[in-house]
Amino acid sequence: MKLIERYGFIVLGCLISSCGINLFYVPSNLLTGGVTGISMVVLFLWGLPLGVQTFVYNIPLLIAAYYFLGKKYLADVIVGTVIFSVCLDLTQYLSALHVVGDVMLSSVFGGVLCGIGYGIVFRNNGSTGGFDIIGAIVKKYYSFDMGAVIFSFNCMIVVVAGFLFDVTQALFTLIGMFVSANITDKVIAGINHRKAVLIISDKAAEIADGIIYEVGRGVTFLHGQGAYTQKERNVVFVVVKTTQIAKIKTIVDIIDESAFMIIISANEVMGRGFTLPGLEIEKLRQGRKPVIPED
End-to-end alpha carbon distance in the chain: 49
pLDDT at residue 1 above 70?
no
- Are 50 and 36 a contacting pair, CB within 8 Å? yes
Q: Which of 155, 174, 189 is the last residue of a domain?
A: 189
pLDDT tens figures, 151-190: 778 888 888 888 877 888 899 999 999 899 888 878 877 7
CA 86, 49, 18 angle in degrees (round to 5)? 45
Same domain, 242 and 261: yes
Is residue 275 domain-shared with residue 215, that is, in the same domain? Answer: yes
Looking at the structure, tell me whether residues 38 and 164 fall in a common domain.
Answer: yes
Per the domain annotation, does 295 fall within a domain?
no
pLDDT of residue 14: 96
Q: Which pLDDT value is given to residue 137?
A: 80
Domain membership flag for residue 112? yes
* Residue 253 domain boundaries: 194-285
Statement to judge: residues 75 and 101 lie in one domain: yes
More confident residue, 145 or 234: 234
pLDDT, tens digit, 9 for 90 and up, residues 118-137: 989 988 888 888 887 887 78
The enclosing domain of 234 has a CATH number of 3.30.70.120
Q: Provide the 3-class DSSP secondary structure of residue 233.
A: strand
Per-residue pLDDT, averaged over 39-54, amounts to 93
In angstroms, the CA 210 to CA 204 distance is: 10
User: 165 vs 3, 29, 171, 173, CA distance in Å?
Assistant: 43, 8, 11, 11
Residue 145 confidence (pLDDT): 60
Residue 232: partners with Cβ closer than 8 Å, 6 or more residues away: 223, 224, 225
In a domain, 293, yes or no: no
pLDDT of residue 50: 95
Q: Which pLDDT belongs to residue 274?
A: 57
Which 8-state DSSP code applies to residue 274?
Answer: S
Examine the fold and report which residue of 189, 206, 239 is the final residue of a domain before the chain moves on. Answer: 189
Question: φ, ψ for residue 268 (rounded to 5)?
Answer: -150, 140
Angle between helices 2-20 and 71-90 (to 10 degrees): 50
R_g of the chain computed on alpha carbons: 25
pTM score, two decimals? 0.79
- Are 256 and 207 in contact by the 8 Å Cβ rule? The answer is yes
pLDDT reported for residue 19: 96
